[in-house]
Amino acid sequence: MENNLALQMRAIRKTFPGVVALNNVDFDLRRGEVHILLGENGAGKSTLMKILSGAYQKDSGKILLNNREIEIKNPRHSCELGIGIIYQELNLVPHLSAAENIFLGREPAAFGLIDKKRMNQSAQRLLAGLGMDFDPQRLVRELSIAEQQMVEIAKAISLDARILIMDEPTSALTEREIKELFARIRLLKSDGVSIIYISHRMEELFEIGDRVTVLRDGNWVGTHNIAEVTKPELIRMMVNRELTQQFPKIKAPRGREVLRVEGLSRNDALTRISFSLYEGEILGISGLLGSGRTELARAIFGLDKIDAGSIQVKGRLQKITSPRQAINLGFGFLTEDRKTQGLVLPLSVQENICLPSVERFSRFGVVSNSEETEAAGRFLKDLRIKATGLGQRVIYLSGGNQQKVVLSKWLCSNGNILIFDEPTRGIDVGSKAEIYQLMNQLTAAGTAILMISSDLPEILGMSDRILVMHQGRINGEFSAADATQEQILHCALGEAA
């Protein structure tokens, strides 16, 4: 009966000091299936996968591989057992070639020298098997994220992986690349490879998944065939409460114009960009990766020099040359990458929230701790940031709470023109909804929001108006109420609106 099962995990339990991370969780994997693992951050998905990859040891429970009980001792052992893992942050050596990365540590050798020719040929065969045709001698740092991912997958396959764990594989990919990735996954499936797929993006699950297992707070909630569940059901299983609407947009009255950009250009990146932004409005900016969306945000925020064009803030012409100046004008910039640009990870919640406003809390260079605590404490409460206190280091917070800290930072500096760059990337469903609620509250209070996002449902669900960028230009403008995903995608691909 169980011949079809590649892997069974039975009653897995894992505790950390003071926390039960996994409470008797069951999980099984059929040959050649894509099994989605779903759950909010902290639900226990990563812990379960770390046990499977040998990074953690389980406290109790059984693991059966091909119906034989095994103990996974360490990551190397897991690898030998045919379990491959593709992390969200790819683990490649950037200045080595694709082939060198694939065979790192086990290069084919002849007379003690690396047989480059054989290595490159093998790599090419592996990549071809995945439908990729780029030269394996290219350096990894020159490859796109999608291509790098393929190198990782090729590496796992060359190690005879029969089980592949993919952690948020699409988070940095464009729509087209996602489509291609899914094609490769189907190819792998037909070869009998089983895939454990972790993602927050609901749409994808239905497209690629066969079965889905939901975890919540370290407990197994349920396993279903994808065809037999609906999105709202899954969300309810994950958060144990009905999110009535995935995008709880509340339209705020449109106020006066707060930002007017005219003819903004910057070398090749931006060409004659013009638009206006109003109080209480969310202006969505869509477009493919590299279409100039982030460059536009950076130029407005004073990070990059502009070659031509003008920026008017609240009716007055401004030359913004530094972030300080932008902040003083009321701008705030929630960057695309929280960890490398938004937060100072080793510092506390309070220190991060107050960073742009230290000036205001200081007299003669001395920072008033009480004023800071008061201000930061207010945001901790208002935004319901889950932390042990203001003194907790932000590195220990979950993605959603980290994003709330970044938002607090700009609210604390009295930001009222906020630029959100991919505001919900890598954030679980519950926190996503909270971020959207906060955006509603902000617009209701008259804040203007410029929202850059690759997530089409998000752009359509939360914006009032949508600008679509293509190759550094604005290629079209839509009213969110009557635009469709297809229209926007076409526009983003360069077709006239």
Partner 1 sequence: MTLKAYVALHGRQFGTLFGLIVLCAVMWILTPHFLTVSNLLNVAEQTAIIAIIAAGMTFVIITAGIDLSVGSVLAFSGVVLASLLQKGVPLVPALAIGIGVGFFTGVLNGLLITIGRLPPFIATLGMMSVARGAALLYTGGRPISGFSDSFRYLATGKPLGIPMPVLAMLAIFFMAYFLLTKTKLGRYTYAIGGNEEATILSGVNVRLYKTLIYGICGGLAGLAATILTARLNSAQPIAGMNYELDAIAATVIGGTSLMGGEGHVFGTLIGALIIGVLRNGLTLLNISSFAQQIIIGLVIIVAVLLDMALKKSRR
94 binds partner 1 (CB under 8 A): no
Residue 346 CB, nearest approach to partner 1 (Å): 4
| 3-class state of residue 70 by DSSP | strand
Binding pattern to partner 1, positions 338-357, x when CB under 8 A? --xxxxxxxx---x---xx-
CB of 227 or CB of 366, closer to partner 1: 366
Angstrom distance (rounded) from CA 495 to CA 454: 18
**Which amino acid type is present at position 177?**
E
Which distant-in-sequence residues (6+ apart) come within 8 Å of 185 by Cβ? Answer: 34, 195, 197, 208
DSSP secondary structure letters along 274-317: EEEEETT-EEEEEE-TTSSHHHHHHHHTTSS--SEEEEEETTEE
Q: Which part of the chain contacts partner 1 (CB under 8 A), choosing from 50-58, 159-167, 196-204, 359-367?
A: 359-367
Tell which positions 145-184 bind partner 1, by CB under 8 A. none
Residue 369 CB, nearest approach to partner 1 (Å): 8
97, 141, 86, 145: which is closest to 123 by C-alpha? Answer: 97
CB of 68 or CB of 319, closer to partner 1: 319
Tell me the C-alpha to C-alpha distance, in Å, between residue 283 and each of 89, 163, 323, 454. 30, 43, 21, 14
Tell which positions 295-334 bind partner 1, by CB under 8 A. 301, 303, 322-324, 326-328, 333
CB of 177 or CB of 372, closer to partner 1: 372
Tell which positions 219-258 bind partner 1, by CB under 8 A. none
CB of 22 or CB of 157, closer to partner 1: 22
Tell me the C-alpha to C-alpha distance, in Å, between residue 278 and each of 287, 293, 393, 408. 21, 19, 36, 21
Do 169 and 199 form a contact (C-beta atoms < 8 A)?
A: yes
Residue 354 CB, nearest approach to partner 1 (Å): 8
Do 214 and 38 form a contact (C-beta atoms < 8 A)?
A: yes
CB of 221 or CB of 449, closer to partner 1: 449
Angle at 333 between CA 330 and CA 338, to 5 degrees: 150
Angle at 54 between CA 52 and CA 58, to 5 degrees: 70
Number of residues forming the site for partner 1 (CB under 8 A): 32
Do 201 and 168 form a contact (C-beta atoms < 8 A)?
A: no
Residue 322 CB, nearest approach to partner 1 (Å): 7
CB of 296 or CB of 343, closer to partner 1: 343
- Tell me the pairing of strands 109-110 and 194-198: unpaired
**Which amino acid type is present at position 13?**
R
Among 88, 362, 414, 484, binds partner 1 (CB under 8 A): 362
CB of 341 or CB of 479, closer to partner 1: 341
Token pair belonging to 471: 């190759």
Binding pattern to partner 1, positions 379-418, x when CB under 8 A? ----------x-x-----------------x---x-----
420 binds partner 1 (CB under 8 A): no
55 binds partner 1 (CB under 8 A): no
Among 19, 367, 445, 481, binds partner 1 (CB under 8 A): 367
DSSP secondary structure letters along 190-211: HTT-EEEEE-S-HHHHHHH-SE
Residue ranges binding partner 1 (CB under 8 A): 301, 303, 322-324, 326-328, 333, 335, 340-347, 351, 355-356, 358-359, 362, 365-367, 369, 389, 391, 409, 413
